């Protein structure tokens, strides 16, 4: 094991967080240097209610999607919400 790999594993264990990396679930995703989200049950339910699963039938809970696709698909109207 290389010293860099060893250090990465140590830091990952210290953070004790699940890290999300490539690939994006969306076919032919071309976004680079972005963060990733796991599709959780709530996001899946939002997609189901908005009939998004008809467009992306391969969406599954625990699969990964890049942040930009997440914003476009799961939360497309987030910026339009009116908070009172």
Is residue 10, in this structure, part of any structural domain at all?
Answer: no
In this prediction, residues 75-84 reach a mean pLDDT of: 63
Report how many domains make up the chain: 1
pLDDT above 60 (res 13) = no
Three-state secondary-structure class, residue 42: helix
Q: Which residues, 6+ apart, have CB-to-CB distance to 68 below 8 Å?
A: 31, 34
* Cα separations in angstroms, 76 against 7, 37, 43: 38, 15, 12
12 half-sphere exposure, CB direction, 13 A CA radius: 9
Alpha-carbon distance 70 to 58, whole Å? 14
- For residue 12, tell me if it sits in a domain: no
The pLDDT of residue 26: 87
36 is a domain residue: yes
Q: Which tops the pLDDT comparison, 51 or 10? A: 51
Q: What is the pTM of this model?
A: 0.64
The answer, yes or no, to whether residue 65 has pLDDT greater than 80, is yes
pLDDT in tens, 15-61: 445 556 668 888 888 888 888 888 999 999 999 999 999 999 999 99
pLDDT band at residue 76, thresholds of 50, 70 and 90?
Answer: confident
Residue 63, domain extent: 18-80
In a domain, 26, yes or no: yes
In a domain, 69, yes or no: yes
| Residue 4 belongs to a domain | no
């Amino acid at each position: 094991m290389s010293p860099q790999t060893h250090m990465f594993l140590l830091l990952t264990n210290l953070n004790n967080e699940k890290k999300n990396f490539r690939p994006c679930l969306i076919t032919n995703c071309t976004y680079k240097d972005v963060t990733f989200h796991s599709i959780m049950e709530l996001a899946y339910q939002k997609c189901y209610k908005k009939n998004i699963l008809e467009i992306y039938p391969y969406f599954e809970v625990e699969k990964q999607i890049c942040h930009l696709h997440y914003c476009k698909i799961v939360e497309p109207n987030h910026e339009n919400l009116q908070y009172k």
